[in-house]
């Protein structure tokens, strides 16, 4: 039994979910920008999602998912992240290559497939980018994490999440020998360019630019 919603509807639901994580609600323009469609198309879909009781929506107001809408969003995100995990762990994809493929796989709705995949992967809690994977009930692990720029000096911490999935970021992190899970300490902060000197394991310290630090999230250990 595949999902009751079209691929298009699922993509809207997921996009609304992600956007409303920031402020609790979304605007037409934000959503149209995020989906690369025109605001007029968004309005059409909002009406449709309202009829299906997935969205709280009144004309000219901000909108947000109903409890049911959120449940469906979490299920799509579950599928997306499980497939990303599969692609990296089993098929040896790089984490910069998995998003587009997962964007398609996430729409295969068979519950049996998803739950068996979850079990096969040993119920992973985080995807290759460090984002939490909702479990079969939609529950996700919350990690008490901070941006690397906010980590105090000499406090041992572990990289938990990256804020970008670009090939360029992966290249840079590979070069610096940093992945999700890497333990590090900030040894020095330079006010001139806001770069930080970081010690990874027992290796020589490496310099991390402000731009890089901003996309690295860590959990003190």
Site for its own copies, rule CB under 8 A: 2, 87, 90-93, 97, 100-101, 104-105, 107-110, 112-113, 116-117, 120
CB 148, min distance to Mn ion, A: 19
Burial class of residue 138 (count of CB atoms within 10 Å of its CB; 0-12, 13-18, 19+): middle
Of 54-62, 98-106, 156-164, 205-213: span binding Mn ion (CB under 5 A): 98-106
Q: Is position 53 an interface residue for DNA (rule: CB under 7 A)? A: no
Q: Is position 125 an interface residue for DNA (rule: CB under 7 A)? A: no
Q: Report residue 126 CA to chain centroid gap.
A: 10
Reduced to 3 states (helix: H, G, I; strand: E, B; else coil), residue 139 is coil
Determine how many CB atoms are found less than 10 A away from the CB of residue 174: 11
Of 4-12, 63-71, 111-119, 195-203: span binding Mn ion (CB under 5 A): 4-12
Q: Is position 39 an interface residue for DNA (rule: CB under 7 A)? A: yes
Give exposure, 98-136, as e/b (b: 16+ Cβ within 10 Å). beeebeebbbebeeeebeebbeeeeebebbbbbbbbbee
* Residue 41 binds which entry of Mn ion, DNA, its own copies, none, CB below 5-8 Å type-dependent: DNA
Interface with DNA by CB under 7 A: which residues?
6, 8-9, 27-30, 36-48, 57, 59-62
């Amino acid at each position: 039994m595949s999902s009751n919603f079209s691929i298009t509807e699922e993509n809207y639901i997921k996009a609304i979910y992600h956007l409303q994580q920031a402020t609790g609600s979304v605007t037409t323009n934000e959503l149209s920008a995020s989906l690369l469609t025109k605001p007029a198309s968004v309005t059409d879909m909002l009406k449709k999602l309202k009829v299906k009781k997935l969205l709280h929506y009144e004309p000219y107001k901000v909108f947000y998912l109903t409890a049911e809408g959120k449940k469906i969003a979490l299920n799509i995100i579950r599928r997306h992240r499980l497939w990303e995990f599969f692609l990296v762990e089993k098929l040896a994809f790089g984490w910069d290559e998995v998003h587009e493929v997962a964007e398609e796989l996430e729409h295969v709705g068979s519950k049996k497939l998803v739950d068996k995949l979850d079990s096969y992967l040993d119920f992973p809690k985080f995807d290759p980018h460090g984002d939490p994977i909702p479990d079969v009930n939609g529950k996700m692990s919350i990690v008490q994490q901070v941006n690397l720029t906010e980590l105090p000096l000499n406090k041992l911490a572990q990289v938990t999440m990256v804020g970008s999935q670009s090939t360029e970021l992966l290249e840079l992190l590979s070069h610096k020998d940093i992945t999700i899970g890497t333990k590090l300490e900030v040894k020095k902060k330079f006010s001139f360019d806001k770069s930080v000197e970081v010690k990874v394991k027992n290796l020589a310290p490496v310099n991390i630019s402000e731009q890089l630090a901003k996309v690295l999230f860590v959990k003190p250990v």
